[in-house]
Chain A
Amino acid sequence: MEYLSNILFALILLLGVGYFTRNVKRLIRNINLGQAVDVNDNKSERWRNMVMIALGQSKMVRRPIAGVLHVVVYIGFIIINIEVLEIILDGLFGTHRIGLKLLPLGVYGFLIGAFEVLACLVFVSVIIFWIRRNVIKLARFWKSEMTNWPKNDGNIILYFEMVLMTLFLVMNATDVHFQALNSGNIVSQNIVPLFGSASEGTLHIIERSAWWLHIVGILIFLNYLYFSKHLHILLAFPNTYYGSLKPKGAFNNLDSVTNEVKMMMDPDADPFAVPAEDAEDEVPAKFGASDVQDLNWLQLLNAYTCTECGRCTSECPANQTGKKLSPRKIMMDTRDRMEEVGKNIDANNGEFKEDGKQLLDDYITKEELWACTSCNACVETCPVSIDPLSIILEMRRYLVMEQSAAPSELNNMMTNIENNGAPWPYNQMDRLNWKNE
């Protein structure tokens, strides 16, 4: 019986990590629903971006209050998780504070002391985050797309962090042996009086409970990620690595269109020529995107990475002036539809079964797409290099090239370009008239 808790611990750990792994595989499968895109260039610049933007949080601190608080929570989160290593070792081997055996007391005390200070700072920061969301009600957290799940999700994460930090401190405060060492209990010693009259036995029960709840809580939180905007703590790294290195104004040229245009411009091209054997594969099913499978995998990774902070939406000129467009909603819709498609595939033995729905219209409306000024404010401000504009453009391409569904004024503009080489109905032969006016 003495190994019961070790076995139980191993089982819980296996279950927690196992379910998470299963969902990570599903996540990768869903991202791979997207089209191929070549992002293997400039590796050193990409690493630099990842280190600066994801690890270094360089874009987070552009908004100083949220940025600094986020850095505190982020550093706290990463460093305190070193403690989880000890918990896992203790749990598996039935030891208690194995770190004390492996490290000199001074070093161990310093580490735990640092964790305690960080836990305290994280707790305070998270409270401020909660107040910003729920009391001050910052506008970007109360936009129309931030109802129901997205709203609750934001708060649940904060509660999780509060509970985990509390459990960590309570665990230390009620550990009589640890307190007796009087090293590293910099914060927890102040909590000890709260348990003033409790017997050693009671304290031990509280300590054990806090210990178990802490590790179980962490495993639940780990598994919560897949269902939450909180995935950004992992995906921010690949997302900033693969983020665009080109000037923001450079929109991609569609190769499939280039081939067609070259054919049209080439006087020697034979329109009746039999296509080469493998040519069939190169012709895309459609131009632009009406559903998630038409987007590229990087755009889908973007969608999973979005943490719904809403900086993009708060900078968007269309959204600021009351239009329906919200770049954050574009990302949230893309993710929701991707999840729907993923579940469909799971339910149909790995094959997507037509469900009569698509990203366009069922999630993102034309009105939203046509409200974009392509100003790149959303791209510039995103702290994790997400590009909502590229999705908007891809969907406009579908509307125009597959459905001829541009607003009529734009059709007029395009007809003018086609006929006169200018967006207005002026004759190309009059282009130099200004010289003599």
Chain B
Amino acid sequence: MSEVLKVPTMAEFMAQGKQPEVLFWVGCAGSFDDRAKKITKAFVKLLNKANVEFAVLGTEESCTGDPAKRSGNEFLFQMQAVTNIEVLNAYEVKKIVTACPHCFNTIKNEYPGLGGNYEVMHHTQFLKSLLDDGRLTVQGGQFKGKRITFHDPCYLGRANNVYEAPRELIKKLEAELVEMKNCRRNGLCCGAGGAQMFKEPEKGDKDVNVERTEQALDIKPEIIAAGCPFCNTMMTDGVKAKEKENDVAVMDVAELIANAQDL
């Protein structure tokens, strides 16, 4: 990669006595998972391109506690939450954007009760606001006319009723947005939520991600768009299990927007 990403930290902003416009909460997957790191970078490129003054916490960021909470470990969740809230409040953070619906949901809905009150946006919502404000423009580019389906992440969709922002971004690509049998509030889970990502599934006759991938493949998309690093992994694995990885790509909405502009 030739071009250098500008990724300032909150500490650097603080040192200059400045406040960024928004904090980008990268999340554990976005920081460590090889596939998700690409999503993180795609999103940062878009932020750079739109000249958004953002910052990350960098090494001061820690797990929101979502998988611990959903496993039933309320102690660990609250320890994580209170620690994160202390850091966020110390930096006087007001607005947070994240590319992970689990971080999004936890910070937005579960941190306020523990003293963390922020405006929290999913990256698809944030990108849409950049487009609406004319700070970012999108042309179809390589995705013009492609059949793209969007897989609703449970923690973005049903959990928080965000269904349209990612779809509007895909439509901006002049792509053909096709819907699966189960979509929006009826969207089928990818199988990763509730800490399932970190364990083997219980005995059954199929894996959830395969079931969901079959639903996607039924409508013959060229791209399955996701808005969650965990869904992305599950759907990618599902496509591989169906031996369709040469025909169908699984991509985050941010990657679609960034690639359309050859960023």
Number of A-B residue pairs having CB atoms within 8 Å of each other in the complex: 218
* Stretch of B67-75, B124-132, B138-146, B172-180 with 4 or more beta carbons under 8 angstroms from chain A: B67-75
- Which of B31, B67, B205, B212 gathers the greatest number of chain A CB atoms within 10 Å? B31
Q: Which of A258, A321, A426 contacts B114 (CB 8 A)?
A: A258
**CB of A368 to closest CB in B, whole Å:** 8
Q: Max chain A CB contacts within 10 Å: which of B72, B83, B212? A: B72
Q: What is the size, in residues, of chain A's interface with B at 8 Å between Cβ atoms?
A: 69
Q: When the two chains form their complex, are residues A434 and B41 in contact, meaning their CB atoms are under 8 A apart? A: yes
What's the nearest-Cβ distance from chain B to residue A235, in Å? 24
CB pair B31–A247 under 8 Å, yes or no, is no
Q: Confirm or deny: B262 has a beta carbon within 8 angstroms of a beta carbon on chain A.
A: no
Task: Determine whether A335 belongs to the interface, using a CB cutoff of 8 Å to chain B.
Answer: no
Residue of B nearest to A408 (CB): B199
- Contact in complex: B41, A375 (CB < 8 Å): no
Q: Does A380 contact B185, Cβ atoms closer than 8 Å? A: yes
Any chain A CB within 8 A of the CB of B121?
A: no
Contact B62 A323 (CB under 8 A): no
Chain B CB within 8 A of A372 CB: yes
Expressed in whole angstroms, the minimum distance between the Cβ of B246 and any Cβ of chain A is 26
CB distance from A16 to the nearest CB of B (A): 42
- B159 near A414: Cβ-Cβ < 8 Å: no
Which residues of B lie under 8 Å from residue A315 when comparing CB positions?
186
The chain B residue with its CB closest to the CB of A376 is B158
Q: Give B32's nearest chain A residue, CB to CB.
A: A426
B165 → chain A, closest Cβ, in Å? Answer: 15
For A163, the chain B residues whose CB sits under 8 A away are: none
Q: Pick the residue among B71, B155, B159 that contacts A413 (CB under 8 A).
A: B71
Residues of A contacting B56 in the complex (Cβ-Cβ under 8 angstroms): 432
Complex interface: stretch among A78-86, A90-98, A395-403: A395-403
- B114 — which chain A residues lie within 8 A by C-beta? 253, 258
Considering residues B105, B161, B194, which has the most beta carbons from chain A within 10 angstroms of its beta carbon? B194
A251-B69, A315-B186, A375-B194 are known contacts. Are A424 and B160 too (CB-CB below 8 A)? no
The answer to whether A249 has its CB under 8 Å from any CB of chain B is yes
Determine whether B220 belongs to the interface, using a CB cutoff of 8 Å to chain A.
no
Number of interface residues of B (CB under 8 A): 71
The yes or no answer to A264 lying at the interface (CB within 8 A) is yes
- Let me know if B200 is at the binding interface, CB within 8 A: yes
Q: In the complex where A251-B69, A261-B75, A323-B202 touch, is A432 in contact with B31 (Cβ < 8 A)?
A: yes
Closest partner residue, chain A, to B27 (CB atom): A422
Docked-complex contact A396 and B71, CB < 8 angstroms: yes
Q: Is the CB of A424 within 8 A of B204?
A: no
Chain A residues near B (Cβ < 8 Å)? 246-251, 253-254, 257-258, 260-262, 264-265, 287-288, 315, 317-318, 320-325, 367, 370-377, 379-381, 393, 395-401, 406-407, 409-410, 412-414, 417-418, 421-424, 426, 428-435, 437
Hey, which bits of chain B sit against chain A, CB under 8 A? 5, 7, 9, 26, 28, 30-33, 37, 40-41, 56, 58-59, 61-63, 65, 67-76, 78-80, 82-83, 105, 108-110, 113-114, 154-155, 158-161, 185-186, 188-189, 191-208, 210-212
Interface CB pairs A-B, < 8 A, 24 = A253-B74, A253-B78, A317-B191, A318-B202, A320-B188, A321-B201, A322-B206, A323-B203, A324-B202, A372-B194, A374-B194, A375-B189, A407-B200, A409-B199, A412-B198, A413-B67, A413-B199, A421-B63, A422-B31, A423-B197, A428-B59, A431-B58, A432-B58, A434-B41
